């Protein structure tokens, strides 16, 4: 009984590994756990992930997606007592540091969504790096209001 339960647990764990291993590379840049929140078509969404380089410094210059009319690089800044989103020209990726794109910080704005972002689905997003070039990742769509994907906790 114990051996069968152990084998079943191991099989379930191994089956879940590919779903948890949601990372990509572009040259020396590692892109970890790209995700988004659910959002209706015609509205704005956001994309989050981590960026880390194992080589030379790089910069995320822009991004694009077939599910958005345009994608902008953004950050949040304090304007008096109010936090406001502001576009940024690029996002530097410095060797030895992890850049976290997250709610309330740096992020990618998916503007004028051409399709709804449905929880449980994945949508393509192409990142354009200065040195590493282009890489297409899949955003795992979480529920609206999610603070982070479950595997990031």
CA atoms within a 13 Å half-sphere pointing along the CA-CB vector of 144 = 9
Structure tokens at 100: 């976290």
Q: Is 109 exposed, middle or buried (0-12, 13-18, 19+ CB in 10 A)?
A: middle
Mean local confidence (pLDDT), 88-100: 96
What are phi and psi for residue 39, nearest 5 degrees? -155, 150
**Domain residue ranges in the chain:** 23-148
pLDDT tens digits, residue range 42-88? 999 999 999 999 999 999 999 999 999 999 999 987 778 887 889 99
pLDDT above 80 for 12? no
Q: What is the SS3 assignment for 5?
A: helix
pLDDT for the residue 2: 44
Q: Name which CATH class applies to 23-148.
A: mainly beta
pLDDT for the residue 10: 38
Instruction: Return the higher-pLDDT residue of 78 and 127.
Output: 127
Mean local confidence (pLDDT), 105-134: 97
Return d(Cα 87, Cα 107) in angstroms, integer: 10
Mean local confidence (pLDDT), 29-52: 97
Torsion of CA 77, 130, 101, 139, to 10 degrees: 130
CB 84 within 8 A of CB 76: yes
pLDDT for the residue 4: 43
pLDDT above 90 for 99? yes
Share the mean pLDDT of the chain.
86
Q: What is the pTM of this model?
A: 0.82
Angle at 50 between CA 48 and CA 51, to 5 degrees: 125
Name the H helices within the chain: 2-20
Write the CB contacts of 86 (distance below 8 Å, at least 6 apart in sequence). 74, 75, 76, 77
pLDDT band at 13 (very low <50, low <70, confident <90, very high): very low
């Amino acid at each position: 009984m114990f051996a069968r339960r152990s084998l079943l647990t191991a099989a379930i764990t191994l089956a879940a590994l590919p779903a948890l291993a949601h990372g990509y590379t572009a040259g020396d840049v590692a892109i970890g756990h790209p995700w988004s929140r659910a959002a209706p078509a015609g509205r704005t969404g956001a994309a989050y992930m981590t960026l880390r380089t194992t080589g030379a410094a790089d910069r995320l210059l822009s991004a694009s997606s077939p599910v958005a009319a345009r994608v902008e690089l953004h950050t949040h800044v304090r304007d008096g007592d109010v936090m406001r989103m502001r576009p940024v020209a690029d996002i530097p990726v410095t060797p030895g540091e992890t850049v976290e794109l997250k709610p309330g910080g740096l992020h990618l704005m998916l503007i004028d969504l051409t399709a709804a972002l449905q929880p449980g689905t994945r949508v393509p997003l192409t990142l354009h790096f200065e040195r590493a070039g282009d890489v297409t990742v899949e955003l795992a769509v979480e529920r609206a209001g999610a603070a982070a994907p479950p595997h990031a906790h």
